[in-house]
Every structure is written in C-alpha cells, then in structure tokens.
C-alpha cells in the first residue's frame, strides 16, 4: 500500500536520558519485541528495511561514580539492511548524512545535489 514507512521507536532515547538502568532494559526489550513484529510483517510482504539510530544513549548511562549521563553519546550506531536485493550490502564507515541518500538509492530516486552524503549501498558482483 505504501512505498515508504518511517518508524521511530523513541523508547530507548527517552528512557536513556533518565539514567535508570531497569527502565532502559525494559525500553530496549520493548523495541526489540516490536521491531521483530515489523520485520516479520516485512518478510510476509516482501518489504525491505534500513534499521538505525541517530545517536546512542542507553549503552552508556552512568558515570564511573554512578551519576546519570543524560546526554547523547558519540558511540557509533548500527545500520542494518534487511531483505533488500541479493548481492547488495552496505559500505562501512557511514555517517548520519548518508542515511537519506542510501534510502533514496534503495527507492531508485535521484539524490538532490543539496544532500552532501553518499549512498552506502554496495553492489557486489
């Protein structure tokens, strides 16, 4: 029905700012469960997905002396390509500005020159 659906599971982001570890664990479990449901439906429908985050936070919530870290981390975040095309993978070392060009490439839409990032799709022979 749709060419593109964008989902934002904000659970980990919102709870990560609290420094409350048990709440963060529940948030990660909720995202894992619900992302699993989305992936199951994508498999049924033959859809594809790019899965990522715009920043880290839940992976580093407390200082060495137990104080909450409420800011975003600078940790690298994953980019996972699900069920796209055979012989297509992702280049390593991407940046957040590469996400939109990658998505446009997947949809075979020309990238506007204003976008400074590059597609991370890598077609293997």
Average pLDDT, the chain: 91
29 lies in the same domain as 47: yes
Q: Range with the lowest mean pLDDT among 3-7, 107-111, 114-118? A: 3-7
Range of the domain at 119: 84-125
103 lies in the same domain as 89: yes
23 lies in the same domain as 65: yes
Q: What is the DSSP string of 34-88?
A: HHHHHHHHHHHHT--EEEE-S-B-TTS-B-TTS-B--SPB-----EEEES--TTE
- Domains contained in the chain, number: 2
27 lies in the same domain as 60: yes
30 lies in the same domain as 12: yes
pLDDT in tens, 43-86: 999 999 999 988 887 888 888 998 888 888 888 889 999 988 88
63 lies in the same domain as 11: yes
pLDDT in tens, 80-96: 999 888 889 999 999 99
């Amino acid at each position: 029905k749709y060419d593109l659906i964008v989902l934002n599971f904000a659970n980990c982001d919102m709870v990560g700012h609290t420094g409350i570890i048990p709440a963060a664990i529940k948030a990660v479990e909720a995202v894992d469960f619900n992302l699993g449901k989305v992936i199951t439906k994508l498999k049924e429908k033959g859809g594809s997905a790019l899965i990522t985050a715009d920043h880290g936070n839940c992976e580093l919530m407390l200082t060495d002396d137990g104080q909450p870290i409420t800011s975003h981390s600078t940790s690298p975040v994953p980019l996972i390509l699900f069920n796209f095309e055979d012989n297509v993978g992702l280049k390593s070392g991407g940046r957040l500005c590469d996400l939109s060009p990658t998505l446009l490439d997947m949809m075979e839409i020309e990238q506007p020159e204003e976008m400074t990032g590059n597609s991370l799709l890598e077609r293997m022979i």
